[in-house]
Amino acid sequence: MLVTHARQLTFAHLWLAFLAFAVALVLGVWQMWARSPLPAPFVAASTYFSAVTAHGTAMAYVMPVFMIMGFGYYVAETALDRPLPAPRWAWSAFALGLAGALMATVTIFSGRAAVLFTFYPPLTASVFFYLGLVMVVAASWIWCVLMMVAMAQWKRANPGRPVPLAMFATVANAVMWLWTTIGVAAELLFQVIPAALGLKAQLDVGLSRTLFSWTLHAIVYFWLIPSYIAFYTMVPQAAGGRLYSDTMGRLTFILFLIYSLPVGLHHLLMDPQQSNAFKFLQVALTALVSVPTLLTVFTIGASLEIAGRLRGGRGLLGWIGALPWDRPLVLATGLAFLMLGFGGFGGLVNMSYGMNAMVHNTSWVTAHFHLIFGGTVVIMYFAIAYAIWPAVTGRAAPSLAAQRLQLWLWFAGMLVMTLPWHYLGLLGQWRRVATFNYADPIIAGWGPWVVVSLIGGVILLGSGLLFVLNLLQFNVSREPHAAAPGELYASAVHPPARVPAALNGFRLWNALVLVLMILAYGYPIAQFFVGDSPQALVHRVDERR
């Protein structure tokens, strides 16, 4: 059952996400051009930093938030097979988020928010930039509550039955997002917005950076979880097999909830305001994300092996060739795993204190998060959109070949862009810089690699535009879509008849997150309120001298 409000909600949310994505993509290519030795138009530091702010805001906040909300509404109706509770609230959230995104966009393009998308005072943007983003986050909070209510209502109607994995994972993400946004909300509410309004002339940047770190890592898992939902619930079905283990899926999403949060200090390894021991503690907890990651690689590997063998694959690795790689969801999963491998390796470097010291302020970091987020996560967003678009529009896909081409281009473009970019980081190319002096003999050697990276960016732009075109193709397709939307989800090899409450809800895990957060972040935050800590003068971007 996919009643009209989820269909329209998903349609509206995903289109908004992808429009923001398309605009940000164009800006991204221009930014790479500006940093390259090739002469680019409009190059000035102020234009560059406004463009980076717009690119980051669109890609890191607007696009994923609306994508996740839209996909969540879809899952809530199709996996639970019941109408969404309070669709009016969902539409209000959409309107609120849209208004916020527009407000932030106008502020950025009027040059009053060239502060990048990370909230690192004392440089502060116009207050409308922050208020706009607060509205986007508030919209996502409404979504979180709706997801939790939908699951609770289903549980009440189906006592003792396990919540379908896709919905369990969606709610895990909603719960995690509520925890995640506490850090940045506190930073904005008590520090940045008062500073932007001129109510505060000084603020403690150590505290702001610590609060932002609370949000900074978990937000990545928030982006990532829809991809994992697709891996666990949609990919085995698309490949023609079954999910190897439903329990592994539940454990994975629970572990993401727990280990996304008390780990943010690994973003502050070079910051002096936090001590070695707390950095060590949070890095150790960071390392545990390897557990859900490896669980997933194993479970999805096993699920695909089941599918491959059912399709006649033989021998140790023969099942890989027997998989239906012509199906976009399967292809995207293969490509996403490859990028996850490269990106995961880079991530291990970043979380290692000594190696991080070498790459911290270099392009390595930028390349890393583009590969992980832009690569692994976003390619799965494409595949999810392709998979659910027939149900959303009621029409069958006009061309799978165009979808496959788009996914391959994205993969190729991402590697061509990010691998040289990583290398440039190792050579010492710094990040957050508008232009380079290629006349300098040391920097001159970077030039060819930057140009290769730019070519990767251009391929990505082509792929992104093809993606938008592919979605538009559904509108001209005449062929109606027949299959029921619920058929998208795989059943497990052993479908769970009954699971312990611990694997069917989040009460226990919320308690454990609370304990871990108090232990890991309690003192690192409390220290700012004990004794005098140095204050920095607020610098407002939109203050005219």
Residues lying near other proteins in the complex (CB under 8 A) are found at 44-45, 123, 201-202, 258, 274-281, 284-285, 288, 435-437, 439-440, 500-503, 508-509, 512, 515-516, 519, 523-524, 527, 535, 537, 539, 541, 544-545
Shortest distance, position 204 Cβ to other proteins, whole Å:
13
Distance in Å from the first CA to the final CA of the chain: 60
Annotation says 130 is catalytic: no
Annotation says 360 is catalytic: no
Shortest distance, position 267 Cβ to other proteins, whole Å:
17
Choosing from 7, 217, 422, 540, the catalytic residue is: 217
- CA–CA dist 126, 35 (Å, integer): 26
- Name the one residue in this structure whose structure tokens are 């005098």: 532
264 or 328, CB closer to other proteins? Answer: 264
3-state secondary structure 398-430: CCHHHHHHHHHHHHHHHHHHHHHHHHHHHHCCE
Distance of CA 279 to the CA centre of its chain: 24
Contact 100, 134 (CB under 8 A): yes
161 or 481, CB closer to other proteins? Answer: 161
Choosing from 221, 244, 382, 521, the catalytic residue is: 221
Shortest distance, position 75 Cβ to other proteins, whole Å:
25
- What is the number of alpha carbons within 13 Å of residue 362 lying toward its C-beta? 22
101 or 255, CB closer to other proteins? Answer: 255
Helices of type H across 230-270: 235-238, 246-260
- CA–CA dist 145, 267 (Å, integer): 29
Sign of the dihedral through C-alpha 255, 60, 376, 31: negative
Residue in 229, 288, 283, 220 with CA at minimum distance from that of residue 259: 288
327 or 540, CB closer to other proteins? Answer: 540
Choosing from 368, 395, 422, 540, the catalytic residue is: 368
For every residue of 523-534, DSSP letters joined together read: HHHHGGGSS---
Shortest distance, position 276 Cβ to other proteins, whole Å:
5
Shortest distance, position 504 Cβ to other proteins, whole Å:
10
Shortest distance, position 53 Cβ to other proteins, whole Å:
14
Quickly count: other Cβ atoms within 10 Å of residue 277's Cβ.
Answer: 9
Choosing from 119, 431, 436, 489, the catalytic residue is: 431
Annotation says 481 is catalytic: no
Shortest distance, position 180 Cβ to other proteins, whole Å:
19
Residue in 23, 191, 4 with CA at minimum distance from that of residue 84: 4
Cis upstream peptide for 194 (omega within 30°): no
Annotation says 422 is catalytic: no
Strand pairing category for 202-203 and 536-537:
antiparallel
83 or 194, CB closer to other proteins? Answer: 194
Contact 94, 39 (CB under 8 A): no
Shortest distance, position 534 Cβ to other proteins, whole Å:
10
112 or 327, CB closer to other proteins? Answer: 112
Choosing from 109, 298, 353, 432, the catalytic residue is: 432
Annotation says 5 is catalytic: no
Annotation says 368 is catalytic: yes
- CA–CA dist 506, 510 (Å, integer): 6
Find residue 441's DSSP bridge partners.
none
258 or 377, CB closer to other proteins? Answer: 258
108 or 258, CB closer to other proteins? Answer: 258
Which residues are catalytically annotated? 217, 221, 368-370, 431-432
